Amino acid sequence: MSAQRRIAVVGGGSGALGRAVAVRLVADGFPVVVAARRPPDPDVPGAVFVHCDLGVPSDVEALDARVRADGGWAAVVNASGGYAGDLAHRIGEEERAARLDLNLLGPWRLAASAARAMEEQGDGGRIVNVISRAAVEVAAGQAAYQVAKAGLLRLTEVMARELLDSGITVNAVLPSVMDTPANRRGMPGADTSRWVPVERVAAAVSWLLSPEAGPVSGAAVPVYGRA
């Protein structure tokens, strides 16, 4: 990794979308760090894996120290998270805390850590949160997911406002159903042609990190395919 060039960090870069984002950002010319609990499989050529459990604040601090030492932060993409069904009035304390941590507090920790470093660097930066259509469309049976994703959307907007004068942009992409191996396994017989390929979501993220998107902050970009 170059000691000079600023780095794009992909939180949850071992996942279906996160890996596609890491591949895309390497192709875009960024030095890329994949941050997750396990490395991507298959490996992302050109990217560096750093173990980071986003539920553990000291892991996020260690990631920040590593990125600062290796060139500093250009961008962070929060691609971690995961779906689970539940009912708002039935979910247990532990489950609720875990799901809010996975889909809201973990990404918040990483975004905040990156923003502090970018502020100190003084030359701007990019933050992109992968959220979900669930943040803007109410559905029953996925309470913790909906609340966390809606919270992450508001966090995106709040951070965009708070960081307006720093040159740090904060945006979100909202995929609907993505074409992933897990979704193919979980929904056999579905019309996968309506789903959005992860590479297309990664392309939207790539644009938000591009020079052309410099004036764009606080946006929530729907990437729905035909789903």
Ligand X SMILES: NC(=O)c1ccc[n+]([C@@H]2O[C@H](COP(=O)([O-])OP(=O)(O)OC[C@H]3O[C@@H](n4cnc5c(N)ncnc54)[C@H](OP(=O)(O)O)[C@@H]3O)[C@@H](O)[C@H]2O)c1
Give least dist CB 79 to ligand X, A: 5
Task: Write out the two tokens for 71.
Answer: 């060139």
Give least dist CB 17 to ligand X, A: 3
> CB neighbours (10 Å) of residue 150?
17
Give least dist CB 97 to ligand X, A: 13
Q: Of 166 and 190, which CB lies nearer to ligand X in the complex structure?
A: 190
Residues that bind ligand X (CB under 6 A): 12, 14-18, 36-38, 52-55, 79-83, 102, 106, 130, 132, 175, 177-178, 180, 183
User: Of 217, 224, 162, 227, which is closest to residue 190 (Cα–Cα)?
Assistant: 227
For 81-127, give the DSSP string: -----B-TTT--HHHHHHHHIIIIIHHHHHHHHHHHHHHHHTS-EEE
Q: Of 5 and 37, which CB lies nearer to ligand X in the complex structure?
A: 37
Q: Cβ(99)–Cβ(143) under 8 Å?
A: no
Q: Of 75 and 102, which CB lies nearer to ligand X in the complex structure?
A: 102
Give least dist CB 211 to ligand X, A: 25
Question: Which residue sits closest to ligand X, CB atoms considered?
Answer: 15
Q: Of 164 and 182, which CB lies nearer to ligand X in the complex structure?
A: 182
Q: Cβ(13)–Cβ(47) under 8 Å?
A: yes
DSSP-derived secondary structure letter, 226 = T
Q: Of 11 and 72, which CB lies nearer to ligand X in the complex structure?
A: 11
Give least dist CB 119 to ligand X, A: 23
What angle (nearest 5°) sits at the alpha carbon of residue 145, between those of residues 142 and 149?
135
